[in-house]
Amino acid sequence: ANNSKKFKSVIAENKARKHYERNVRKLYKALKEYNLISIHCHNNGRRNLYWLCDEVWNYWEDGFILPLFKYGIEIESIENGYKVSLT
């Protein structure tokens, strides 16, 4: 998907893409660190993981999905949070 219309410039879009990829890596490392295959991230639970899930979800909705495939992460929105799993 061409997201350039949402950004003021190609540079801004590239910065957003790098920010997203960094958050996907952080989420992947957190799941590995906690030795989790799947987790439900709720806004009243682990704030760090919920924030990462929220950031990744927001960019995923904008069409930035390739890093999720690279790290084998699936994410879906659930009531009051997100379900994240490694494939």
Looking at residue 79, the DSSP 8-state letter turns out to be T
pLDDT by residue, tens only, the chain of 87 residues: 444 446 688 888 888 888 889 999 999 998 888 888 888 888 765 567 888 888 888 877 666 778 888 899 998 888 888 899 998
Task: Give the per-residue pLDDT at 28.
Answer: 92
pLDDT of the residue at 25:
92
Packing angle, helices 10-33 and 47-61, rounded to 10: 140
DSSP calls for 14-74: HHHHHHHHHHHHHHHHHHHHTT-SEEEEETTS-HHHHHHHHHHHHHHHTT--HHHHHHTEE
| pLDDT score for 37 | 82
